Amino acid sequence: MRSPIPKKHARIEIIPLIDIMFFLLASFMMVSLSQTHMKGIPVNLPSANSPPTPPNEKKDYVSIRVTEGNLVYMDNVGVNDSDILPKLFALHEANKDVKVSLSAEMLATHGAVIAVLDKIRLAGITKIGYQIKAAGVTGSAGTVPAPAPGPPPPTKP
């Protein structure tokens, strides 16, 4: 026998649930954005009308290059062999922390490069960088092939 009272089935309304979820999402987004503090590193950008650097400013870097024929260039200006040491002394006196970048072309002799390195050290300069290129680069005599790899190491049985 059936009951004369009609049975009502439970119903879940989805639309109000979606409205509440969107409201919560928007609330959390607004709260999280208001709590974010923008942090950054202050940067001094150059302006369009900044004055040029004065020529009497301390120089903190010099590039020395030894070329084929043992010619020496300081900042791409040719220098006599007897003038290298006085110029290095003057640079070191002007700035005790001067840095030197030493490079040599492929056909420059090893002795000439070491002689320039000795003069740099005699001047009292201690911050020296070396520019080194791998084998197989193009030099003044053309392309030098890279050396062939050696034989594999012997395997132990």
pLDDT at position 154: 64
pTM above 0.75, yes or no: no
CATH at 116: 3.30.420.270
Residue 74 lies inside a defined structural domain of this protein: yes
Domain membership of residue 72 as a residue range: 62-136
Residue 85 lies inside a defined structural domain of this protein: yes
pLDDT at position 138: 54
Return the amino acid letter for 10.
A
Residue 119's CB: how many other CB atoms inside 10 A? 19
Lowest mean pLDDT among 33-37, 63-67, 116-120: 33-37
Between 145 and 97, residue with greater pLDDT: 97
Q: What is the total count of domains within the chain?
A: 1
Residue 38 lies inside a defined structural domain of this protein: no
Between 64 and 47, residue with greater pLDDT: 64
